[in-house]
Structures are given as structure tokens and as C-alpha cells.
Structure 1
Amino acid sequence: MTYPTINRLLAFACIGFTIFSCNQKESSEILISEIDQVSYNFHIRPILSDKCFACHGPDANKRESELRLDTEAGAYAALKDDPSQFVIKPGNLEESTVYHRITSEDPGELMPPPESNLALSETEIQLIKKWIEQGAKYEPHWAFVAPEKSPLPEETDWTTNEIDRFALKKMTEKGLQPNPEAKPHELIKRASLDLTGLPPSPEVLDRFGDFSGDLTYEDLLDGLLSDPGFGEKMAIIWMDISRYSDSYGYQDDNIRTQWPYRDWVIHAFNENMSYDQFITWQLAGDLLPNANKEQILATAFNRNHKYTEEGGVIDEEYRIEYVLDKTNTVSKGLLGITMECAQCHDHKYDPFSQKEYYEMFAFFNNTPEKGYQGDVSQSKPAKTPILWVDQEDLSGVMSFINYADTSKLSVSVMGELDEQRPTYILDRGVYDAPTVEVEPSTPSSIMKFPDDLEENRLGLAKWMTARENPLTARVFVNLMWQEIFGQGIVKSAGDFGMQGDLPTHPELLDWLAVDFIENGWDIKRLMKQILTSSTYKQSAIIKDKHLKTDPENLYLARAPRLRLPAENIQDLVLASSGLLVRKLGGPSVKPYMPEGIWEAATSGRGVLATYVQDKGDKLYRRGLYNFIKLTVPPPKAIIFDSSNRDRCEIGRSRTNTPLQALVMMNDPMILEASRVLAGKMWEENREEEKAIATSFKRIVCRDLTSKEKSILLSYYEDQLERFKENPDQIVSSLSVGEYPLEEKNINPETAALMQVIVSIYNLEETITKS
């Protein structure tokens, strides 16, 4: 590209940015004029949180001039050096010092100060002005107030259930209209991928057709929800939250056996265990009255963090590190708050003190877990406390664990010390700098910890699942919404605090959270409720109005177009080719791996020093079961944005990179699936047109159009001619992968059809839910 070309592109970019900025400004000014009542929560707090709270917020250690803007008392206070002046005088701009400071032209008076590199926009200044004029009313943070059901908006011919009534109201406010309903084959594929992570077979597509026969869309959903694949699909989400892996991390990164916990998670979702029970068992199953082994196994949730096996480490340092990880995982994954920010000091933005952080920490500080358990030569697949699972358990209470071996299984789980270990606030979070002793408790800004609850993990679980808790149900409902629509009603799914995103549909989020609790924390009911809505069933067609008014689809006037999660891309390829082994649960498997990657990131010690690929059926398991080594996460999955599992993750990014295309065109699994399907299709049809049409339907989940058929047939003929002219290339093309290659499939037709199928797998539509 020449320099003049680059300069022209930069010029266009600058012009475009200027136009965009002007449009944004104009749009914002119109918005302010249309606001009847400025809300502290939805208009003012985000501004103060971004621009002011670092110096005038909850963190006493960073607070300037002893001035607080995060509380009503602080904001309404008289100035320390001039009691006749006030920070904010409700309804009176002239006597509100804040307004004069944010509009000052004197750099020495202006707030935020220029050296902070922060500045208020004209729009933000006008919002604060209008708020003060209207009385500067403070409100508790919306996420820390227990949700309540607001009145349902008007019902229309379009609305199917309550979700639609809230969604349509917001669309109408934004000048949008809902898309028409998606085509039946699109809904069948979309629902199947959302609920099981697997594509519908051609037989399922034909059986349900256009839903005009005996089988309805609701019948489809009921069948998918009862499919064992539902638990596997949901488990992918929970493995990210629980930071599940098959190794310990750090330098030696040896093997561990936490996979029975994964089997339990799959089982719990398939059995539709209520969410309150689901998290209670994981937090404190060992503390339940007469706890059985299944309940204790669930507490492995807390033990999935990294462990060091390096010699010379300080036991207490790493023991504290493990407790910190447990605390941070529960606060982020289950409560959607960034408590970890208060490990070293009071939270800068949210009303969590360092004292409250260590009060939460205290719930997890009473386990007999050690920071260091012997040298690496004595590495064991589980760390104390350990749950042992034997054959009697496998035929009884834990029959859901898939284990053919006769040896005992060991899993790291939780236990409780007989005598309470004291917990101290740690100065700057340093393990050997204890200061003031604290007792187990929870942040009062969320919900006070009741006096009648046990001061242990079981009490914490009861607090978390109480009807009055403002976060637990909201966070989970939002997580499910994110899984279906690509982003949550609160976009920052792991941060419901003041720095997090505001909900796009606050009334809908609260209504769903309350409804979820009122209906027994029923997960399958919630999923069906979302998938039966007209909001969900819309077409994904993008119109000019959508791009202009709502490019991010925040207001849901169309279905989202989302690339599948990494694991489900593997599942789709294996399932459509007929290679997928639908064995539920069991130990993790080691599929194809690029040579040398594993060994380049190992200390050379332990059973994981060298990569030993699995054989046979183990190569064709679902992506959920791929072995996760923390120092070398599966490279293909990482390229498609999977979590590396070294910490709790409550959402994945979605990127588009050339490496993804490289994987889809060259990965041994995809090439192997293509040649196996090609052999099967040629053997069954012996006619290229039908073989291509059937393959396309298996992979893309719809019938070919005439134009697509013409293109693919033309490509097939080109490839057929190539292989006929170069017969020496046939075997090399068909020999990829370890699935047996039959002599009858070594021919130009199968080789050519394989290339066509590879191209079908590389279609954007193939790995996109739309």
C-alpha cells in the first residue's frame, strides 16, 4: 500500500470520527432535553465513578481534602475550610461548590484537575447541573437493592411472554420495531446449539419441519432440555467460573484429578438441580447435616485454583493465596462484584472496605488445606482435604461418575477445622502482615449478615440464596441471558458494582430475577422462558435502522449473530461428520496437538512433561472433555477465545483473527472429519450432487440454494479433475487423522468431495448461531 493511499485512508477515518463525534454530541444533547428526572443511579453515579471517586470516593486512603461524593452526607457537607460553603446544595447551583469547580476556566480550580487526565464533557456537566437543580437526590446503588417486580408493560399481538413486553417497550422507546420470526430451520439450529451445543441432525430438521405438524417448537425445546447434552453445554459455562483444569499450574504443572467434579456439574444441570441448592452444595456441601459424598464432591468448586509444587516456597504465603482465590471466585462468579480490589485497601469505587473483604475471606480461611504439600517427586492427583471415591460409591450415590477403572479416585474438596482459625486484615494484602482480627461476615452495602446464621460457609450460602439478597439471582439470570444473546442485560457480567455497566433493561432484569426465585430457582424453566419468547425467535437480519440506531443490538430488535464457543465448534464438526462419541463424563482426553508446544512450556518433570496423545474413541469426545493444562491451554480453543482457566471467568470475548481461519482450514480434526464424512456420503449416494446436498444439510443445517449448489458442484469438478490428473495426491489428502481409512474410499471422488466439505466447514454460517 502506498503512502498516499494510507494518507487518504487516515483522512477518511478522521472525517468519519468527526462526524461520529458530532452525531454523538447531538444525540446526547437531545437525550438530556428529554430526561424528565435525572437519576443518580443511571445518569450521575457513572460520571462520578469514572471521573471523581478515585479521589473523592469510598477509599479513605486515597481520598483528597476529606471530601466524599459517593455518599449523600459527604456531598451535602459544608466545606472544611469554609463552613458557609457547601459541596452540593440541593436545588441551588449558586451555592453548590461542585458546579463552580467543574465549570471553572481556572486550571487551579477546575475539577477534575487537568493533571489527572480526566475531564467532564459538556453533556456530563449539563447532566450534573440538571441533577442539582432537581434536588441532587442520592439513591442506593441499583444492584445493592433487592429486586422487585415492576408492573408489566402493555401486551400486544407480538408479545409471547413477559420478556417480550419489556423488550418491546424499550424497542419502541428507541424507535425500533422487532424483526419478523426466524425461519423454522434457523430456530431449530439456534435452539439446539443454545441448549445442547450440538447441531440438529437432518432427521431432526425434517421431523420438525416448519412446525405445522404434530411436533411444535415447544416440543423441540422440551426434547433439547431433556437431552444429556444440556448438562454438557451448561458445564462449559461453569467450568470457566469454577476455573476447572486438569493440572496444578505454576512451574511443574503436574496432573490432578478434579474431573469427577465436572461429572457432578453435568449431572446437576441435567437433573435440573435448583440453583440455590447448586451453589449451596458447592460452597458448603461438607457442612450440611449428615453430608453424603456427592455433597462433599460438589465443594471441589472451591479447590480448582492453582497449586504450587515448587520446592522452597513458604507454606503460609501460598495458603493465603489459595484462600484469596476462593474469596475472589465466589465474589466475582456468584455475586458479580470485584471484591478483590479491596484486598490491599478499601475499594476505590464500590462501598467495600478492606475490613469487609477479610470478613468474607474468613469464611474460607478455616480449611485444613496447606500451602505446600511436599516436594514434586511426591506429587499426588489431589491435595488435602481429599475425598476418596471407590467402586461402592460409583454404584450408589455417585453413579453419575463415568469411571471404568477399579482403583479409587481422589478429588480435592473442602473440609473445616475443629477450632476456628483467626483471620486478620492483612496490611497491603501481604500474607505476613496481620493487623486487626475480624470475624466472618459480608459487605453491609449488599446485605447485612444475619445474626442467626452460622458463621461459616453454610451460613454464607444461606445469606447468598436468601430472597433479600440483591445480587445472586440477578447475576445468574444475567449470565444465562449473556449465554443466549451474546451479552448480558448488564454487559459487565462479572461487575455489578459502580464501575460496571448499567442494565439496558433494568425492569426486565429485576422481573426475571424475582420470577426465578419465585419459581424455585428452576434453571431449565428459565432457559425455556427465554427461548419461547418472541424476542429470542426473531430473525437475525440486520437492517439499516439497526446499524444506525442500535449497532450493538442492545435493545434486541433482532436476533444476534454469534460465533460458537470454541468447544462447540469442535462438537459441531464431530457431530455433523458422524465421528462424535457421545459418552457422558469421564476423565479428560488429549486430542491432536501441534508438535512441540506442550514440551516447550514444561519443567521436564512429572507425568505431564511430554504430551501423549490419546487414541481411538477418546479423540472424538466433546470439546468440554479436552485436557486443560494450565501452562499450555489447548491452543485451538484459545485461538477461539476460550478461557485459559487460571482464574474465574464469567464471560468470554469474541475476536476475529486470521489464526481462526488457519485452524478451520488446517486442523487435523476438521480435515479428518471432512474425509470421513466424504467417504460416508460417497458410499451412501454414489452421486456428487446428492452427496454435496446431504453434507451441506448435516453441517449448515439447511438445504442448499440453487446458487450454492452450482458453486459447490463447480468446485467439486475442479477438485475431481485435479485428483484424476494427480492420483499420487489422493492418499496423502485422505490419510489425515487416525480414523481408519478404508480401501474403498481411496478414490478421486472421495478426495474431491472431502475438499468440498472442508470448504463447507469454513463457511461463516457453519460456526455461527444466528
Structure 2
Amino acid sequence: MPIFRLQKPFSKRRSGMNKKKLFVGLAIMLFVMTAVYFFDSGSRAGGSTALPESVSYNFHIRPILSDKCFNCHGPDGSHRQAGLRLDLADSAYAPLKETKGAFALVPGKPELSELFRRISSKDTSYVMPTPESHLGTLTDYQIALFKKWIKQGAKYETHWAFTAPKKKSIPLVDDKSWPKNEIDYFVLNKMEEMGLRHNEQADKERLLKRVSMDITGLPPTIAMMDSFMADPSDRALERMVDQLLKMPQYGEKMAVHWMDVARYADSYGYQDDNVRTQWPWRDWVIHAFNNNMPYNKFLTWQIAGDMLPNASKEQVLATAFLRNHKYTEEGGVIPEEYRVQYAIDKTKTFSKGILGVTMECAQCHDHKYDPFSQKDYYSLLAFFNNTKELGYEGSVEVSKPAKNPILTITHSERRKLLTFINEQDTAAMTVSVMGELDTLRKTFLLNRGEYNQPGEAVKPTAIKAVMKFDPAKYTPDRVGLAKWTVDKSNPLTARVFVNLMWQEFFGRGLVKTSGDFGMQGELPSHPELLDWLAVDFMEHGWDMKRLVKKIALSATYQQSAKITKEHLKRDPENVYLSRRSRIRLKAEFVRDLYLSSSGMLVKKIGGPSVKPYQPKGLWEAATSGRGALATYKQDHGDDLYRRGLYTFIKLTVPPPGMAMFDASNRDQCETSRLKTNTPLQALIMMNDPGVMECSRVLAQNLLTERSTVPEKIAKAFKRIICRKITAKESQILESYYREQFELFQQNKLNAKLTLKQGEFPLNNKVDLKQSAALMKVISTIYNMEEAIMKS
């Protein structure tokens, strides 16, 4: 991490080290690290030397075929060679068209199987994959896997993610004292298979910060810390989890991820990139999470709320989910081109964000790796093709906050029916929502994905490779699609959601590629656990809060983040969960941390998005100079201190402070965020006006209390880091305070200039030089790596 660790200034440490020795030491360390990396990479490429007792097509063979063979012998007919498909058993068992008398696979007989003979050959003119393909040859271990698989009958299986999950019995484990609930048996069983041992439980202080950040996105208050530390019972954590789940901040925390899935933004994204008012839908999402709306209902309303019998305004509002994509307001556009683009965006968001499959390849041609044809793609798009939505509306000179079809919400309706919408203005507001045409618009397969090249006509049908769309059960409209999606027989919906929740808590899903459960996605690290959670989730009414509680109360979740050499050697990415991974807070929650810990956070729920501090000139340099968002008009007062969730998202110029911490750009559906470490992140924490202002205000508030300087530092440390300060940390920070205070006393540093941060009024009743010195100490605490980590 670029955020520096708390330590003595370099000038006060020993500086007599011989420079030559230092460079030699660094060179040796670099050599060792490089050697370890390449050794480990080779080890991973070759895999374990022990072959599994039973070789699985899904978990052992197909990943190799997908990587090495499907480019030429897979689902994509346009690239297929020799008429051979290795993704289908019938084709693989059939006589080869170009090699008379030969078969790619002869079950039970690898020596007669052309596939095995080719992958194991040393002849460069005969071996597969061919050298010119640059796909690389198979390792000895992979060849041995194929040999054993063929000997065992070369049995094909339906792709694991397209088969309905089954709730297998809880596995046996040796260490029966560790598991706290069902999750732990599955995790421990895998650990014991891998020769790993779990970590001890994290200490209560770190555990409380972790669970508070995971459930509410905010650090615990000192009162919560004191209460939790004073509770010696075995149910202390459970009581705290229940308390956190009841807080309205829970809904805000959960909403952040759903905003990424729904590509929520406050502007349209093209040319002038003007303002839009989709934020009432965001308020609804917070409301739905806080009320623990079942996930199947949560999805149904967002997919088809407007088409439900006697649909309420709340149900119609929920469909704004499908209208959050970008819109053009450019002059001279071809309306049909953009209307088709909007339908394509809806299709991608539905397939990736809800079903966890990548369909966009099939917009132009049959999917190369997954069993999705181009016809499948447009049959799915057909569900979204009958909306009243237009590709272009009105004059380019007049930008409206919502596009047709529009939901109008009056002040009276906000007061009486939609009370979760937090807006004091008495004027009516408008939101872009879904609405169906009275007559059916025909949908065509588009040749090469071009809007003006219609081919075969298609009807609305969901992805048959996932689950049959039975006309007797589902109507050919969005209501039918919603029912198909949340049918308990659908193999993807519950799996994808519990995986996303796992990712939120552990930083990585049980399926690492959370938006791709298809052939090219990662295999689940714990397939039986994923399926158990999915079935259990559905059996208990798609209860999201129950799922969150189940994860938080597991021994797996509560482990310490201490890491050993054995951990790094055996499981460097912590796939098998023998420890707690150290996870940095998401961008929004970095902001929430410094606002909340300083006492500056305004806890208003919902309402219009706000514009906090931002470097000057960014918007102006990236816009056309027209419209309400041509210049950045910073907010003032309470609006400066709202949670990161409410920061105004302009698609062409995302908030820079959050962008540096890997926030989503929101221009398309995203199920996971990048994780980077750059020096700019440290520069933000050291220089951002918001962080500096919070440091100042907290320092001045502490100076109004009757306590010693060490006590003030200890309290600030506890509020930010969420644990007691150690003696060494206290000594370093007190020494730094005395050093800085002396510099201010001698006027070598300017206290007034240092304190000139932010708009919150300066407290002139406390000593300004003490304020400035303590402010710098608090800024240092915010810049500890531990401050913005969950664990």
C-alpha cells in the first residue's frame, strides 16, 4: 500500500548502514523474489503431481480444453477447424472428417484417441495445439489428466453453472471444535485437504471494525467499541451484528455495490453530459435493503415492476434499474441506432449483473466459448425491445432530467406513499422508468450486430443453455423473464448473488470471476459451499439479511489476518481461506471513514446527489461548455459532509478522489472493482481538503475536552483505527506532536495557514498552535495503512 506505516522519521533512525551493503542486500532480495515468483508460476502451471481419484470434465478437463483447444474446436462455427467440436460429446466421439478411421476420443482407450495422441506428441508437425497457435503445449500433469479421464470413460458433463445447485450434506472435518456454522465445515474440509491450518480468531477490536465496515460501511463509534469490549458472552458478536443490521446505514452500504451493477450515475454520459434525476431510484434501493425485501422480489420489481397487476408507483420506480444507461442528447443522431444501443445495454446488465454470464460476444456472432448463439442473444434482447423508450428526444437545446417513459412523483406522493424519497422541494420530480408499447415491436437478429442489418425475426426467449423458458410457465414478456430469473430451478440467480455477497465480505468471490460463470470464468474454489449457500438462501425466502448474518457469524469470517510463510507458500491468494485477507475499503467508504471518525458525517439518508470538494477546472476541461453541468458548482454546508454513496457521478468526469481508489466509472455494469495501489492514493490521503478538514475539526473538538495531550491522541487513534493505541505508537505520535508544536511556537510553521482547510468554521476559542500540531498528528493517523483497511 502507498499509505505509509507509522514509524519514526528517517532522520531519527540509524543511518550508518553501509550503502554498498544496502544495495547488495536489495539486489539479493530482488533475485530471490523473482526466483520465487517464477518457481511458483511454474508450479501453478503444472499443478499438483497427484492426480485426482476421479477426473471431472467440468473441473479438470474443460478448463484445459477452453484454454488450449476451443479456439479452433469450440462453439464458434466461424473459427472451427476440421469440423471438430470438443465441447460436445457427440462430436468428440464421432469419426474425424479429415483423418479417416480415427476418432478424437475413444472412451477407455487413450492410445486410440487422436486427441490424446496429439497433445502428448513431441512431433511439432503433429502436436496440438500447433506451435503457430502460440497457445503453448500441455504440461505433463495435464496430459496425465487427459489420459486418466479417457481411461475412466471420457464422460462429458453439463457446465457446472448451468446445472441446478444441490444442497449436499455437511462434510466431515477433523477439527470439530472450530466450526461455528455450516460455512466452516465446507471451508475447513477444503483446508484439511490442502494441508492448511486455520488462523486463530481476530481480537475483538479488529473484529468489530471489520464487521461494522462490512455491514454499515462506517467505523464503530467509541460507545459501540466500549459496549462490545465489555460484553464477555459468546453471543456478543451476534448481538452486535443484529444491531448493525437494524441501522439505516446498512441499506446505504449494500446499495453501493448495487449502484455498480446498475451503472447508476447523475448525468447522461454523452457530449454535454447533462444532469439526470435517477436518484429517487437509489433511495428506493436503500429502502429495499433496509426493509430486507426478499431478493427474488427485489429483482422482479426492477425487471418488470411496471407490468405487474395494478402496479404501484413504487413498483414502477424500481424499473429505473433498467434505465440507468447512458443517453445521447447530440443533434443529428440516428434514433434507431441509439434505441438499439439502449436495448443492448439492458441485455448486458441483466445477463452480467444478475445471471453472471457474458452475452455481449453474441451480439455479433455465436459465442466462441459459451453455448450462446447469436439467436439466443437477440431472443433475450427481445424482452427489452418493446419499451416506449426512444433513441432521441426533442431539441438538443433542451435537456430534461428524465427521458420517456417517465414516472412523475408529486410532493404529496412523496409525503404519503414514497416516504423513503428524501427531498424537501415541493415541486414534482421525474424519473426514467420502463413502459411497454401497446403493440408488439418485432425483434430481429442483427447481422454483425448492426442496427440497420436485420436478419431472422426472433421471439422473446431466455437463455436455453441456462434453463428452458417454458411457455406454459412464463409469458413472453418481462414478467415472464422475471419469473424465469427467480425460479428456484434457475441454476444461476441465487449462485451469482451469494457469490457477490461473499465477494463483499472476503474481497474475492467463491467464483473469482463474479460476472462470468461461463466456460471462460474461474471455477469455484468451494463448489459444494457455493451450492449449499445458494439453496439455503432460496429455502429461507431469499432473505438477504439472514445471508449476511450467516457469513458474519462464521469462524471463517472471524479469523485473524495474520499471515505466515506457510500461508504465502501454500496459498498466496488465500483461495482456501485459512486466514483473513487484508482488504482496503472501497472508495466511498474511505470517505465515510474520515467523515464519520471525525464527527463530521451528516447521516441524512437519501436525497439528491451532492458535489463536495474537487480540484478546479476538471469539468470545464472535459465538457462542451453547455448545460447545467458545464461548470462544477461545489455544494456547501451539510452537503459537503454526506456519505460517498451520494457524491455526484458525472460520467465523463467521475469524482477524481474516488476514481483514484478504484471506484466504478459507472458507464457500464460492473460486478467487481479493480484493486490497485498507486502513489496518488497516498497523496489524496495526505492532501485532500476533506481529509485535512476532518483532521482539523477533530483536533479542535478534542482540544475543548478536559484531557491531556496523550489522552487526546489516544482518543483520536481509537476513533480512526478502532483499537487502543500501543505504548510505542503513543510515544511516536506524542513525540511528533511536541516537535510540530515547537515549530509552530517558533513561527517556523504557520498555524493559521495550516488550519485553513475546508469550509467548516474555525474554532478560535482553542489555541491555534495546539490545534495545528494536533491536526498534523491526526492527519498522520489517517495516513496509517491500517486506517483504510477492513482487517
- Describe the superposition over 1:388-409 as per-residue Cα deviations: whole angstroms up to 9, x where unpaired: 0001211222110001001111
- Describe the superposition over 1:225-284 as per-residue Cα deviations: whole angstroms up to 9, x where unpaired: 000000000000000000000000011100000000000000000000000000100000
2:715 equivalent in structure 1: 694
Q: Determine whether 1:142 maps to 2:163.
A: no
Q: Determine whether 1:120 maps to 2:137.
A: yes
TM-score by length of structure 2 reads: 0.95
Compare 60-69 and 613-622 and name the one that shifted more. 60-69
Distance 1:433 1:44 in 2: 39
The residue correspondences of 1:511-660 to structure 2 (distance < 5 A) are 511-660=532-681
Compare 111-120 and 31-40 and name the one that shifted more. 31-40
1:31 equivalent in structure 2: 48
Paired AA for residue 168 in structure 2: S
Q: Give the direction of change, closer, same or farther, for the CA distance of 1:109–1:271 in structure 2 (3 Å limit).
A: same
Where 2:50 maps in the other structure, the secondary structure is helix
Where 1:740 maps in the other structure, the secondary structure is coil
2:13 equivalent in structure 1: none
1:79 equivalent in structure 2: 96
How many residue pairs were aligned?
Answer: 769
Q: Give the direction of change, closer, same or farther, for the CA distance of 1:139–1:414 in structure 2 (3 Å limit).
A: same
Q: Give the direction of change, closer, same or farther, for the CA distance of 1:733–1:16 in structure 2 (3 Å limit).
A: closer
1:279 equivalent in structure 2: 299
* Contact in 1 for aligned 2:421/2:606 (Cα 8 Å): yes
- How far has the Cα of 1:444 moved from its partner? 1.3
* Contact in 2 for aligned 1:184/1:211 (Cα 8 Å): no
The residue correspondences of 1:247-646 to structure 2 (distance < 5 A) are 247-452=267-472, 453-646=474-667
- Describe the superposition over 1:164-199 as per-residue Cα deviations: whole angstroms up to 9, x where unpaired: 000110111111111111111111111100000000
Partner residue of 2:697 out of 668, 672, 676: 676
Paired AA for residue 162 in structure 2: F
* Contact in 2 for aligned 1:727/1:748 (Cα 8 Å): no
- How far has the Cα of 1:31 moved from its partner? 2.7
Paired AA for residue 690 in structure 2: M
Q: Give the direction of change, closer, same or farther, for the CA distance of 1:742–1:15 in structure 2 (3 Å limit).
A: closer
- How far has the Cα of 1:33 moved from its partner? 2.6
Q: Give the direction of change, closer, same or farther, for the CA distance of 1:234–1:171 in structure 2 (3 Å limit).
A: same
1:729 equivalent in structure 2: 750
Paired AA for residue 682 in structure 1: L
Distance 1:499 1:191 in 2: 33
Q: Give the direction of change, closer, same or farther, for the CA distance of 1:441–1:187 in structure 2 (3 Å limit).
A: same
Partner residue of 2:727 out of 702, 706, 725: 706
1:130 equivalent in structure 2: 148
- Describe the superposition over 1:582-630 as per-residue Cα deviations: whole angstroms up to 9, x where unpaired: 0000000000010111111101010000000000000000000000000
- How far has the Cα of 1:54 moved from its partner? 1.3
The answer for unaligned runs of 5 or more in structure 1 is: none
Distance 1:183 1:103 in 2: 53
Distance 1:350 1:652 in 2: 24
Distance 1:188 1:7 in 2: 43
Distance 1:724 1:3 in 2: 41
- How far has the Cα of 1:411 moved from its partner? 0.2
- How far has the Cα of 1:20 moved from its partner? 4.8
Partner residue of 1:195 out of 201, 215, 224: 215
- How far has the Cα of 1:735 moved from its partner? 1.4
* Contact in 2 for aligned 1:218/1:532 (Cα 8 Å): yes
Where 2:455 maps in the other structure, the secondary structure is strand
1:151 equivalent in structure 2: 169
- How far has the Cα of 1:451 moved from its partner? 1.2
Paired AA for residue 479 in structure 1: L
Distance 1:19 1:194 in 2: 34
- Describe the superposition over 1:694-718 as per-residue Cα deviations: whole angstroms up to 9, x where unpaired: 1111111111111111000000000
* Contact in 2 for aligned 1:185/1:210 (Cα 8 Å): no
Distance 2:22 2:739 in 1: 37
Where 2:516 maps in the other structure, the secondary structure is coil
Where 1:78 maps in the other structure, the secondary structure is coil
Where 2:407 maps in the other structure, the secondary structure is strand
- How far has the Cα of 1:51 moved from its partner? 1.1
- How far has the Cα of 1:349 moved from its partner? 0.3
Paired AA for residue 635 in structure 1: P
Paired AA for residue 294 in structure 1: E
Q: Give the direction of change, closer, same or farther, for the CA distance of 1:733–1:17 in structure 2 (3 Å limit).
A: closer
Q: Give the direction of change, closer, same or farther, for the CA distance of 1:344–1:3 in structure 2 (3 Å limit).
A: farther
TM-score by length of structure 1 reads: 0.97
* Contact in 1 for aligned 2:743/2:749 (Cα 8 Å): no
Partner residue of 1:166 out of 172, 175, 186: 186
Q: Determine whether 1:747 maps to 2:765.
A: no
Q: Give the direction of change, closer, same or farther, for the CA distance of 1:28–1:646 in structure 2 (3 Å limit).
A: closer
Distance 1:758 1:15 in 2: 36
Distance 1:760 1:329 in 2: 40
- How far has the Cα of 1:21 moved from its partner? 4.5
Distance 2:598 2:61 in 1: 54
- Describe the superposition over 1:290-309 as per-residue Cα deviations: whole angstroms up to 9, x where unpaired: 00000000000000000011
1:49 equivalent in structure 2: 66
- How far has the Cα of 1:8 moved from its partner? 10
Compare 145-154 and 522-531 and name the one that shifted more. 145-154
Distance 1:711 1:6 in 2: 28
The answer for unaligned runs of 5 or more in structure 2 is: 1-18
Paired AA for residue 697 in structure 2: V
- How far has the Cα of 1:26 moved from its partner? 5.9
* Contact in 1 for aligned 2:347/2:384 (Cα 8 Å): yes
Distance 1:5 1:163 in 2: 47
* Contact in 2 for aligned 1:685/1:691 (Cα 8 Å): no
Compare 33-42 and 726-735 and name the one that shifted more. 726-735
Partner residue of 1:108 out of 125, 136, 159: 125
Distance 1:28 1:243 in 2: 36
Q: Give the direction of change, closer, same or farther, for the CA distance of 1:554–1:293 in structure 2 (3 Å limit).
A: same
Distance 1:115 1:548 in 2: 35
1:230 equivalent in structure 2: 250
Distance 1:19 1:724 in 2: 52
Distance 1:94 1:716 in 2: 77
Compare 163-172 and 203-212 and name the one that shifted more. 203-212
Paired AA for residue 147 in structure 1: P
2:739 equivalent in structure 1: 718
Partner residue of 2:201 out of 168, 181, 185: 181
- How far has the Cα of 1:109 moved from its partner? 2.2
Distance 2:150 2:732 in 1: 65
Q: Give the direction of change, closer, same or farther, for the CA distance of 1:519–1:735 in structure 2 (3 Å limit).
A: same
Paired AA for residue 108 in structure 2: G
Paired AA for residue 515 in structure 1: D
